[in-house]
A and B are shown apart, each in its own frame.
Chain A
Amino acid sequence: MTVHTVGSRRVIRAACAAAQEAGLHVGMALAQAQALVPNLHVAEAAADEDEASLRELARWAIGYSPVVALDPPDGLWIDIAGVAHLFGSEEELLSDLTSRLTRQGLAAKAAVADAPGAAWAVARYGAGGVVPTGRMVDAVATLSIRALRIAPDKLNALHRLGIERIGQLAAMPRAPLVRRFGCDVALRLDQALGHAFEPIMPLIPKEAPVASRAFAEPVARLEDLKGVLLRLAKDLCRQLDRRGEGVRRLDLIFQRVDQKSACLRVGTARANRDAAHLARLFDERLQTIDPGFGIEEMVLVASKVEPLSETQIHARSLGEEDIGEADMGPLVDRLGARIGMRRVYRLAPVQSLVPERMARRIPALAPPTGSVWPENLPRPTRLLDPPEPVVATALLPDHPPAFFVWRKVRHKVAKADGPERITPEWWNGDKSSFARDYYRVETEQGGRFWIFRDAPTAEGGRWWMHGFFS
């Protein structure tokens, strides 16, 4: 719990979860708090340090989206328009964000909504999570009016009138509301309901290389944007060249005439400062930008850079002569810009015999592992995950099946090979022990399947279809 001085009183500025449980809340006098909880641990609030660490957190959050803004004392805005697909979906982005914050030891609550005001309200006073497009009014209406970010005296006045929920406030006639409480209450209400626009001023890291261009006349044509983008990229690359750095992540921010901003983000798999290549990464998604009445300013920020010296560039261009050593960096970047860097990968062998665990994903440009799976194991080319149950009949216990029924089709087995017993890795101390007996079977028509029995016949093993050779 931290305390600060307001006038002559010592007031609680922030309280941890345990303190809130004990009945303390922000704004309570210290004397009252100490009366409630006798041995209270009190620390002096350090507003500067709080803001510095919030700024630090904001810089970390730039990993999610280029447009991150501070919301002192304890909030962050992250504009995820145009970047959610890189994480799969908005839900996945949100769960990734909160779980990573929790792992850092920060209690965090997050919400996604169409308007910043609504997200603010749902994150602080609602259940959090993703508010579906168009459902914002429903999500906000039941929340307390404290979720509106209005001054405490006006809040008290509203309470006296018996208005507790945002829905009640929204139902009131507009003119008397403005006359009685002033414009800001109405404005906050509109912002929470998404009727009024609220600008987010992005925080640009000071040390990041930036290239920007403001236009005398608003620009809207796609070709013009492409041209400007290329010039910005050249600008940026010149700066990077001087600093001996290459881009790992690039953000393009558009400022529209109507003060709205849009942003695009691309990542590169390896540090790069080839202007034409970097500009090309935006090609595909540039057309998704809605220029509205025109774009006033374009800013290109290299939000993540890595050292890249001259020699590395030369070494790579030489490599192109040898096909085996060709540089896949640009290709991986372009694919990553289309579908997200996480979906471009290589598979590396894992020391395991359980089919589902035999491979793990590694970054596409990771150095060659050189390791392979054991070569003499016959493995199918397609795996059915999860395995599907099969009704099979074996002539003798622990023999391969004589025929089996899979997906309502009866297959007669002509030849078979097996069993090959697969058990979990004992060296991992895996508690879930199972033993699968795998058989390769060939049906009369020649189709080859990989089926297994999850226990010996005597123990009531069932049959499963797991893979396809042909």
Chain B
Amino acid sequence: MNPGQQDRLADLRLQIARYEGGSQKTKPLPFGLRALDDHLPGGGLARGALHEMIEAGLASEFAGSTTLFTAGIAARLKGPVLWCLTRRDLFAPGLLRAGLHPDRVIYAEANREREILPLIEEGLREKGLAAVVGEVTRMSLIASRRLQLAAEATGVTALVIRRWWTLAEKDLVHLPTAAVTRWRIAPTPSELMPAPGLGRERWHVELLRCRGAEPRTWILEACDAKGCLALPADLADRSDQAADRRAAAS
């Protein structure tokens, strides 16, 4: 490749970056885990973008793990957080476990499901927020694209937790959206303790979809009091062939 071609290639890359807009401007939020950060484009979760979280496993309609996972991300961002919800099952003391201080969270409680997406968008248009968390059942491709554009414009991160009550609603989460990443969190058995008791929760974290990266699966330990995930100690030294196999099989 001669120098002229290289210049043209660099120029093209610059142009593409310009078209992609605001999402590239800010540095992504690292998870602080090499396994995740090396895999994600830019070395972390893109700020000013729409991310979708789905719960799997038992009692998945309550989204217990996903809530903690999302709260952990929001806790590590700096600034106030808007939490849009329709149901009153959120237990605020539980969010503190991921390091999300109650003074930082403003709740907006919608009466109906269809009010929630406009609330999220309203939050995304506010520059001062760190993140907007929304508990959503239905999110169409167009609606999600709108949220993504709003997030890009202001740099506020949108974290959408998919909720459902019925099986029909659960199937809706498989429909495509314009989210930059889509995560699926399922609880897995935690490490066996030498004495009776419970260790740190362990999750099966799947990156189902990500712009600019392959789908991938990890087994991780749940958020600590600072919102940081961790690699399980007994799995940390093992090569991640198992994860690769699982990803290939799914």
Contacts of B127 in A (CB 8 A): 320, 326
Complex contact A339–B94 (CB within 8 A): no
Q: Closest residue of chain B to A348, judged by CB?
A: B102
A57 within 8 A of B: no
Contacts of B119 in A (CB 8 A): 335, 338-339
Pick the residue among B59, B68, B79, B108 that contacts A326 (CB under 8 A): B79
A380 within 8 A of B: yes
Interfacial residues of chain B within 106-142, with CB under 8 A of chain A in the complex: 106-111, 115, 118-119, 122-123, 126-130
Complex contact A380–B94 (CB within 8 A): yes
Task: Convert B51-69 into 0s and 1s, putting 1 for each residue whose CB lies closer than 8 angstroms to a CB of A.
Answer: 0000001110011110110
Q: Closest residue of chain A to B110, judged by CB?
A: A339
Closest chain-A Cβ to B81's Cβ sits at a distance in Å of 11
Contacts of B145 in A (CB 8 A): none
Complex contact A344–B92 (CB within 8 A): no
Q: Give Cα distance in the complex from A331 to B222, angstroms.
A: 32
Complex contact B128–A326 (CB within 8 A): yes
Complex contact B93–A331 (CB within 8 A): no
A416 within 8 A of B: yes
> Taking A323-B128, A445-B57 as contacts, is the C-beta distance between A346 and B102 under 8 angstroms?
yes
Contacts of B89 in A (CB 8 A): 382-385
Report the interface size class on chain B.
35 or more
Complex contact A338–B122 (CB within 8 A): yes
Complex contact B101–A372 (CB within 8 A): yes
> Taking A383-B89, A385-B88, A470-B201 as contacts, is the C-beta distance between A327 and B128 under 8 angstroms?
yes
Q: Give Cα distance in the complex from A107 to B75, angstroms.
A: 50
Complex contact B91–A381 (CB within 8 A): yes
Q: Give Cα distance in the complex from A51 to B129, angstroms.
A: 50
B187 within 8 A of A: yes
Q: Give Cα distance in the complex from A277 to B65, angstroms.
A: 38
Chain B CB count within 10 A is highest, among A324, A380, A384, for A380
B171 within 8 A of A: no
Q: Give Cα distance in the complex from A445 to B101, angstroms.
A: 31
Complex contact B65–A470 (CB within 8 A): yes
Q: Give Cα distance in the complex from A324 to B122, angstroms.
A: 19
In the complex, number of A-B residue pairs with CB atoms less than 8 Å apart: 189
Stretch among B3-11, B34-42, B191-199 lining the A interface: B191-199
A4 within 8 A of B: no
Complex contact A379–B187 (CB within 8 A): no
B189 within 8 A of A: yes
> Taking A335-B108, A339-B115, A416-B196 as contacts, is the C-beta distance between A382 and B90 under 8 angstroms?
yes
Closest chain-A Cβ to B195's Cβ sits at a distance in Å of 10
Interfacial residues of chain A within 48-77, with CB under 8 A of chain B in the complex: none
Closest chain-B Cβ to A464's Cβ sits at a distance in Å of 15
Pick the residue among B108, B111, B123, B198 that contacts A417 (CB under 8 A): B198
A448 within 8 A of B: yes
Pick the residue among B88, B90, B103, B128 that contacts A370 (CB under 8 A): B103
Complex contact A445–B189 (CB within 8 A): yes
Q: Give Cα distance in the complex from A335 to B105, angstroms.
A: 14
A358 within 8 A of B: yes
Report the interface size class on chain A.
35 or more
Q: Closest residue of chain A to B88, judged by CB?
A: A385
Task: Convert A345-384 into 0s and 1s, putting 1 for each residue whose CB lies closer than 8 angstroms to a CB of B.
Answer: 1111100000100110000100011101101011111111
Q: Closest residue of chain B to A370, judged by CB?
A: B103
Closest chain-B Cβ to A285's Cβ sits at a distance in Å of 12
> Taking A415-B190, A415-B198 as contacts, is the C-beta distance between A470 and B91 under 8 angstroms?
no
Q: Give Cα distance in the complex from A330 to B198, angstroms.
A: 44
Closest chain-B Cβ to A400's Cβ sits at a distance in Å of 8
Closest chain-A Cβ to B218's Cβ sits at a distance in Å of 15
B209 within 8 A of A: no
Pick the residue among A320, A345, A446 that contacts B187 (CB under 8 A): A446
Contacts of A448 in B (CB 8 A): 64, 187, 198, 201
Complex contact A334–B122 (CB within 8 A): yes
Interfacial residues of chain A within 376-398, with CB under 8 A of chain B in the complex: 377-385
Q: Closest residue of chain B to A359, judged by CB?
A: B92
Complex contact B198–A447 (CB within 8 A): no
Complex contact A411–B115 (CB within 8 A): no
Q: Give Cα distance in the complex from A343 to B190, angstroms.
A: 38
Q: Give Cα distance in the complex from A373 to B91, angstroms.
A: 12
Task: Convert A133-154 into 0s and 1s, putting 1 for each residue whose CB lies closer than 8 angstroms to a CB of B.
Answer: 0000000000000000000000
Complex contact B92–A358 (CB within 8 A): yes
12 A-B pairs within 8 Å (CB atoms) are namely: A331-B126, A338-B118, A344-B107, A345-B107, A369-B102, A380-B91, A385-B88, A415-B193, A444-B189, A445-B188, A469-B64, A470-B201
Q: Given contacts A335-B108, A339-B109, A382-B67, list 11 more A-B pairs with CB under 8 A.
A: A324-B79, A331-B82, A345-B109, A347-B107, A358-B93, A382-B64, A382-B91, A415-B193, A445-B58, A445-B187, A448-B198
Smallest CB-CB A-B distances: 6 pairs:
A326-B128, A468-B64, A470-B65, A381-B94, A447-B58, A446-B187
